[in-house]
Structure 1
Amino acid sequence: MGISIILSMLVVGLLLGFVGAGGSGFIIAMLSTAFGFSIHTALGTSLAAMVFTTLSGAFSHYREGNVAVKPGIVIGITGAAGAWISSGYSAYVPAEHLMWMTAGMLFLSSLLLWIRMTMTSRASQNGGRPLRESGVRFWLASAAIGAVTGAMSGFFGIGSTPFIQIGMIILLGLSIRQAAGTTMLVIIPIALAGGAGYYQMGYLDIPLLIQVVVGSMIGSYIGAKFTSRVPLGVLKTAMIAMPSIGALLLMIRS
């Protein structure tokens, strides 16, 4: 099973690195649907794996010029606090309910991202008007994005990538490509804090984590290379499709 997991995660990493996602629900869906792990173990392992997956992808995106560093750091720190607090509550939710709740959140994230991209003009998508990185509005907006999405990540075990990207596009004015790259930086501290919470509850499978990390980290680094090299329409479609596919897999499993 080890080689199969590594190869599967390599493919997943390629897709996740491309859309700027550190894990979303796709890894969770693969582990629980294709390999039969419990939903709680899949949540904890995938969240911890995102630390390494996004580290590789964030570095690649940074070199491609797709990362807004200051907003990423602020959102990441507040997100980590939210993830640490909320991760302790998921253990009290029955596995079947948690699986359906996670699937629902993934579908919602796809819908919200599609609505936002449909409403956004072509000019703002390609250029963006970044919010000035100082002042009360910047700090409040960044902290709000981090706290809310971090809490969602910790509870549902997902990276909340579409929600983070929507927040940065709407509240901070980042372009689609900047949002994709900066999300990779944001997820690092969120996944670290959330993964630590799941580890304390005994839902982190270390051997499985190593296999997931080996495959997804390599794939994520390679996938990030394509973000700036494909038509914007392809990137938008991939961002919307990934969480929807993960949700469908979870619903099939349940």
Structure 2
Amino acid sequence: MTILGIMLVMTALGLLLGFVGAGGSGFIIAILTVVFGYPIHTALGTALAAMFFSSLSGSISHYREGNMILKAGAAVGLAGAAGAWISSGWSSLIPADRLGWMTSGMLFLSGLALWFKMASAARGKEAVTIPVAGGWRFWLYALLIGVVTGALSGLFGIGSTPFIQLGLMLVLRMPLRYAAGTTMMVIIPIALAGGAGYYSVGYLDVHLLAVVVAGTMCGSFLGAKFTKRVPALLLKTCMVITPMLGAAILLL
């Protein structure tokens, strides 16, 4: 009955995530811990690994639409994978109650970062070119963005999507469209390395992962069909509220 319940809840959650275009690892963590009683470390490992599948399918779509800069995505993603692998081991050293509070705080910051990104784009402050396209500065900035955001993902089990996008836009000067697509590529190695890190320390439930992935992917497929059918203001509001709602659930 628990497996069926998780499947149904994850399908409903997938509807929301597909609608707002989010990976939703933070929300998955909140549901698994608060609603179904899984340990926070297991929830983190499962949610992070689940992002690999959703990011892979999203990356293929963005690549076909021409929304991806492969060089930047590869550089940031590989550095992020290293950060996620290392920090996933640190997570086991943090007591469960403290880790829950810390993950909740990161989700709130994630929502604020997303709001800031949207506000900057609305004011017309996003870049239209990519001046940092090569040379030592590009590699330095790309590695820094990757290591920092990857470490956040591995430690707290979140996708760090807003932080990655902000780094690509503000540091590498990418337009929003390319930052969104490239971020999906960046998350693939981060989720893979972070999930493997949690598995190596015994915090990845493979059977639970299969149920979570099946439910969220089914729901996301349906939820994505509503994205273009609602007012832009409602969509943006839901995108900002979603990680904050996950953070609020974790505090229960």
TM-score range for the pair, normalised by the shorter chain length: 0.7 to 0.9
Matched residue type, 1:213: V
Deviation, structure 1 residue 16: 3.2
Asked if residue 83 in structure 1 is aligned to residue 109 in structure 2, the reply is no
- Residue in structure 1 matched with residue 181 of structure 2 by the alignment: 181
Conserved in 2, the CA contact under 8 Å of 1:18 and 1:227?
yes
- Residue in structure 2 matched with residue 251 of structure 1 by the alignment: 251
Task: Tell me which moved more, 225-234 or 25-34.
Answer: 225-234
* Structure 2 CA distance for aligned equivalents of residues 17 and 251 of structure 1: 24
Report 1:73-222 matches (<5 A).
73-125=74-126, 128-221=128-221
Deviation, structure 1 residue 35: 1.5
* Structure 2 CA distance for aligned equivalents of residues 63 and 228 of structure 1: 19
Deviation, structure 1 residue 196: 0.8
* Structure 2 CA distance for aligned equivalents of residues 185 and 171 of structure 1: 18
* Structure 2 CA distance for aligned equivalents of residues 174 and 8 of structure 1: 36
Q: Is the alpha carbon distance of 1:74 and 1:20 closer, same or farther for their aligned partners in structure 2, counting shifts above 3 Å?
A: farther
Instruction: Tell me the TM-score normalised to structure 1 length.
Output: 0.87
Deviation, structure 1 residue 233: 4.1
* Structure 2 CA distance for aligned equivalents of residues 232 and 172 of structure 1: 27
Aligned length: 251
Instruction: Tell me the TM-score normalised to structure 2 length.
Output: 0.88
* Structure 1 CA distance for aligned equivalents of residues 8 and 130 of structure 2: 38
* Structure 2 CA distance for aligned equivalents of residues 174 and 228 of structure 1: 24
Unmatched 5+ residue regions in structure 1? none
SS of the aligned residue for 2:92 comes to helix
* Structure 2 CA distance for aligned equivalents of residues 96 and 40 of structure 1: 10
Conserved in 1, the CA contact under 8 Å of 2:24 and 2:243?
no
Conserved in 2, the CA contact under 8 Å of 1:61 and 1:225?
no
Unmatched 5+ residue regions in structure 2? none
Matched residue type, 1:158: I
Q: Is the alpha carbon distance of 1:175 and 1:45 closer, same or farther for their aligned partners in structure 2, counting shifts above 3 Å?
A: same
Residues 51-101 of structure 1, C-alpha deviations (whole Å, 9 max, x = no match): 112112222333344333322221110000000011111111111110000
Deviation, structure 1 residue 19: 4.2
Conserved in 2, the CA contact under 8 Å of 1:26 and 1:243?
yes
* Structure 2 CA distance for aligned equivalents of residues 231 and 30 of structure 1: 28
Instruction: Report the aligned-residue RMSD.
Output: 2.4
SS of the aligned residue for 1:174 comes to coil
* Structure 2 CA distance for aligned equivalents of residues 69 and 225 of structure 1: 27
State the identity as a percent: 60
Task: Tell me which moved more, 237-246 or 57-66.
Answer: 57-66
